C-alpha cells in the first residue's frame, strides 16, 4: 500500500470526525455562548499531535537547543491575545502549537509523506500567555502536503489552547490568499461566515529587525465553563 493511500484512509476517517465535531460545536455555541459571533471555531486536532516529549518546546520553532543550524523556510512571527467570551484576557493560558515543516512534513511517526524531514525544525511549541492573555512565537511558513490524489492541505498551524475553568479549544490557523484554501475540505467544513476567523494575513515586519520576516495576528476566544 502506497504512503499516499495510507494517508487517504486516515483522511477519510478524519473528515467524518471533523464534520460531526463541527456540527456539535456549532450547536453547543448556539445554546451557551452569548458572544458566539466572535467565538474562535474549533477544528480537528489531526493525526500528528506530538506523542513524545522533546527537550525544546520553547516559543522559537526555528531553532532547537544545541543545534548550530536553523530551520529552513520563510520566517514568520505569530502573536495574539487569548480572551474569554466576555472579552476579558485569559492570563496564563497554555497555547500549544504544532505544524509541518517547509516541505509539508510533520516530525511524527504517523506521517508517511515522503517529503524531507528538517531535523533543525522544532515543529512543536508551548507558550504561556502573559497577564494580558497575549502570546507570541516564531516559526516558518509550513508547506502544503497531499492527503490523496484529489486533495492537498494548504499551509496551516494547529493550536490547542487551554486553562482550568475554560473549555479547551483545538483549531487551525490558515494563511490568507493561499490558493489551496479554496479547496480544503477541513476549512470548507466551517460555515463561510466562520472561515475568516481562522485565516490570517501576514505582512512584512516594518521594524525590519529581522529582514524578510513577516508578522500576523491570531486572536483566540475561549469559553468559560459555566458553573451549575
The arithmetic mean of pLDDT across residues 78-85, rounded, is 97
Domain 3-222 carries which CATH code?
Answer: 2.60.130.10
The lowest-confidence range among 41-55, 64-78, 156-170, 206-220 is 206-220
Three-state SS sequence of the chain: CCHHHHHHHHHHHHHHHHHHHHHHHHHHHHHHCCCHHHCCCCCCCCCCCCCCCCCCCCCECCCCCCCCCCCCCCEEEEEEEEEECCCCECCCCEEEEECCCCCCCCCCCCCCCCCCCCCCCCCEEEEECCCCCEEEEEEECCCCEEEECCEEECCEEEEEEECCCECCEEEEEEECCCHHHHHCHHHHCCCHHHHHHHEECCEECCCCCCCCCEEEECCEEECECCCC
Q: Is 178 designated active site?
A: no
For residue 27, name the pLDDT band (cuts at 50, 70, 90): very low
- Out of 153, 167, 215, 223, the active site residue is 153
Q: Is 145 designated active site?
A: yes
Q: Is 107 designated active site?
A: no
pLDDT tens sequence across 126-157: 999 999 999 999 999 999 999 999 999 999 99
- Out of 107, 108, 156, 215, the active site residue is 156
The arithmetic mean of pLDDT across residues 214-218, rounded, is 97
Q: Is 106 designated active site?
A: yes
Q: What does the pLDDT read at residue 49?
A: 94
For residue 20, name the pLDDT band (cuts at 50, 70, 90): very low
Whether pLDDT at 117 is above 80: yes
Whether pLDDT at 26 is above 50: no
Mean pLDDT of the chain: 86
Amino acid at each position: 500500500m502506497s504512503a499516499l493511500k495510507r494517508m487517504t484512509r486516515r483522511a477519510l476517517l478524519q473528515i467524518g470526525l471533523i464534520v460531526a465535531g463541527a456540527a456539535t460545536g456549532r450547536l453547543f455555541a448556539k445554546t451557551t455562548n452569548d458572544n458566539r459571533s466572535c467565538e474562535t471555531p474549533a477544528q480537528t486536532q489531526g493525526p500528528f499531535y506530538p506523542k513524545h516529549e522533546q527537550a525544546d518546546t520553547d516559543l522559537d520553532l526555528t531553532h532547537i537547543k544545541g543545534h548550530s543550524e536553523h530551520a529552513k523556510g520563510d520566517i514568520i512571527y505569530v502573536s495574539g491575545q487569548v480572551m474569554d467570551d466576555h472579552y476579558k484576557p485569559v492570563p496564563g493560558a497554555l497555547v500549544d502549537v504544532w505544524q509541518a515543516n517547509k516541505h509539508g512534513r510533520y516530525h511524527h511517526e504517523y506521517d508517511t509523506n515522503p517529503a524531507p524531514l528538517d531535523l533543525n525544525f522544532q515543529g512543536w511549541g508551548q507558550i504561556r500567555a502573559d497577564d494580558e492573555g497575549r502570546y507570541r512565537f516564531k516559526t516558518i511558513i509550513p508547506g502544503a502536503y497531499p492527503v490523496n490524489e484529489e486533495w492537498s492541505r494548504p499551509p496551516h498551524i494547529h493550536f490547542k489552547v487551554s486553562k482550568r475553568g475554560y473549555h479547551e479549544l483545538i483549531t487551525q490557523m490558515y494563511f490568507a490568499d493561499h490558493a489551496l484554501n479554496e479547496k480544503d475540505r477541513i476549512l470548507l467544513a466551517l460555515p463561510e461566515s466562520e472561515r475568516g476567523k481562522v485565516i490570517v494575513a501576514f505582512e512584512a515586519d516594518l521594524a525590519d529587525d529581522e529582514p524578510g520576516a513577516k508578522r500576523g495576528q491570531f486572536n483566540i476566544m475561549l469559553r468559560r465553563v459555566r458553573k451549575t
